Structure formats: structure tokens, C-alpha cells
Amino acid sequence: NGSVGMRVGGAGMAAMKSCKRNTYTRATIEGRPIYSAMQTKLSEKLVPKKLVITDDSNKHSEHEAMVGKAAESGETHFTVEVVSDAFEGVGLVKRHRMIYEILKEELDAGVHALSLKTKTPKEAGL
């Protein structure tokens, strides 16, 4: 079993959802369209053993307003931790490119920063 989770910065709240290897929770978090899309796409494409998406946008509230859907919802900065068999035998740069391709629509919609932590289950000790 893997896990899918969300962290919202500032308030320190965490909502965790369990998922089995080939299933996941399709949750649309009210007012969080970018997070919801990221969670769904990464779960579908990478079938992660662990997925934690942390919204760091509140740490960057002093930045000038971004444009696009991400700015409208206030979702512009994220840290994504993914543990997936899909990374087996794949170098770090290619892993990041895989995620950029999966999340292309969200990046084009105004996600300004994406910090990535990508590991295989063996690298993560799972």
C-alpha cells in the first residue's frame, strides 16, 4: 500500500488519503484545483507508493501576482515528493522531466515553482 497526501503550508494541516497499488482517491479539494489536478495526474501516471504534495504558496505571498489559473486559486509554489517504481533505472534529470511533462498543463497555468523529490521504493527504504 502507498499513500497520497497533501500539506497546506502555514496552518500546518495535513490530509492523508490511503491508496492501493492500482487505485487512488479522486478527491477534488474545494478551492484547490491545481493541487487536485496534480494529485490525480501523478497518481494515474506514476502509480506511486508514496505521494506528498506540499503547497508552499503562502511562503511566497510577497511575490508579485502570477497570471493564470494557479494565481487565481493562490496555488503557485509546490514541493512534490514521489516514490514510484516508474523511476527504477531512470536518472534524476529524466525523473524530473517525467514529472514536468505530466504536470505541463499546471505549469502552463501559472505554477511558478516546483521542488521535486523523486525516489524508487528501494531508495526510499520501502
Q: What would the grid cell of residue 49 be?
A: 507508493
Q: Residue 43's CB: how many other CB atoms inside 10 A?
A: 21
What's the rounded mean pLDDT across residues 75-100?
94
Q: Are strands 50-55 and 77-83 parallel, antiparallel or unpaired?
A: antiparallel
What's the rounded mean pLDDT across residues 95-124?
92
Sign of the dihedral through C-alpha 85, 91, 92, 95: negative
Q: Report pLDDT digits (tens) over 22-57.
A: 223 334 455 677 888 999 999 999 999 999 998 877
pTM comes to 0.69
